[in-house]
Amino acid sequence: MAHEATWHANLKVRLRRLRLSKNMRRLVRETKLTSDDFIHPLFVRHGQGIKLPVESLPGKHQLSVDNLAAEVREISALGIPAVILFGIPEHKDWRGSDNFAEDGIVPQAIRAIKDTDPDLLVISDMCFCQYTDHGHCGIINTPDNPHYDPALPQGYLHNDHTLDLLQQASLAHARAGADIIAPSGMIDGMVAAIRSALDSDGAQHVPIMSYIKYASAFYGPFRDAAESAPQFGDRSQYQMDPANQREAFKEIALDIEEGADIIMIKPALPNLDVLSHLRENYTVPAAAYQVSGEYAMIHAAAQRGWIDLERAALESLTCIKRAGADMIISYFAKDALKWLDA
């Protein structure tokens, strides 16, 4: 016992000294969330006076363009610097025509947001799953479209034909005033194709935020919100296998080589290892998407009384930033800032 008492007396390093009080913990906290960290997602659809709740995303809505102004003013008042837009078109077809139409839903929304707050950054999610009648992220090899190739499997996504559409849509969104183009379909060569189109159109100043996107099970609520569920199969032929890490590292390197200005990891929490690698090995800004399934799970567990909503949400966001994110796309963005300011 005497030996034990002596050992305790000689314990000079006591890390708990800096955990004793709330203000002490605040003083030494390594990772802090601020409004500068957040990007707020918005779902916008055709129509008038629409504010349609998304059941699987508590507190989130599909909005018509005329209802964007009030939402934008609230987002701006909280100090959030950017939003990312997802469009729900009035009509869908095999090639997602609304996405590259000059009067498509996203170009309309971009102009409305800029009319309300010219300084709020608008990021355009650049994909086709919401706009196609089959729910896939580009042109699909089926007998009813002009690009059908009987030598390829039915349901195969035509990579290079999809690049042409991504170029057209990126130009339409940039001309409408988008500040950042964010290709998310994991189409090979998408960054290079979009960079070439933007530069040729005099939009050299528009950055590209490229997704490193896994074929994840955590996207279900988003597909409700964006009405983008695939009508057959899944997206594993073009989005990444969640089992693969080295492949993600290669995707990061290729996208940067092709001209990506920002790299985004999606989903965030299941892929903190990839996010950490990005931060430790590259100097480009790192983004992370706390996806709909992450948000919905926290809400669902809190509704059952199993966890504390505020504490769990803020902890998850803090860990995403701690892993290396310079910016976080999150459905918690507004709530998190209100909680932090309380």
pLDDT tens, residue by residue, 14-65: 999 999 999 999 999 999 999 999 999 999 999 999 999 999 999 999 999 9
CA dihedral 296, 300, 305, 308 (to 10 degrees): 0
**Residue appearing with tokens 């994110």:** 325
Element (H, E) at 157: strand 157-158
Please check whether residue 130 is in contact with residue 109, taking contact to mean a CB–CB distance below 8 angstroms.
Answer: no
Among the options 60, 92, 213, 334, which is catalytic?
Answer: 213
Give me the pLDDT at residue 133, please.
84
Label residue 304 by pLDDT band (50, 70, 90).
very high
pLDDT score of 275 more than 60: yes
Structure tokens that stand for 262 in this block: 């920002």
Among the options 92, 266, 321, 334, which is catalytic?
Answer: 266
User: Distance (Å, rounded) from C-alpha 19 to C-alpha 26?
Assistant: 9
Residue 65 class from Cβ within 10 Å (0-12 exposed, 13-18 middle, 19+ buried)?
buried
CA angle (28 as vertex; 276, 289 as ends), nearest 5: 30
pTM: 0.94
The alpha-helical segments, DSSP class H, found in 41-126 are 68-77, 105-116
**Active site annotation includes 51:** no
Kindly list the distances between the CA atom of residue 135 and the CA atoms of 93, 155, 266, 337, in Å, as whole numbers in the listed order: 10, 11, 19, 34
Terminal Cα-to-Cα distance of the chain (whole angstroms): 48
Query: How many CA atoms does the CB half-sphere of 255 hold within 13 Å?
Result: 32
Give me the pLDDT at residue 4, please.
59
User: What is the CATH superfamily name and number for domain 33-341?
Assistant: Aldolase class I (3.20.20.70)
Q: How many CB atoms neighbour CB 40 within 10 A?
A: 23
Cα-to-chain-centroid distance, residue 203: 23
pLDDT score of 5 more than 70: no
Query: How many CA atoms does the CB half-sphere of 40 hold within 13 Å?
Result: 27
**Active site annotation includes 213:** yes
CA dihedral 268, 82, 71, 182 (to 10 degrees): -60
Annotated domain spans of the chain: 33-341
Kindly list the distances between the CA atom of residue 212 and the CA atoms of 54, 183, 271, in Å, as whole numbers in the listed order: 26, 10, 10
For a pLDDT cut of 90, what percent of the chain falls above it? Answer: 79
> What is the chain's length?
342
Q: How many CB atoms neighbour CB 79 within 10 A?
A: 12
Label residue 6 by pLDDT band (50, 70, 90).
low
SS3 68: helix
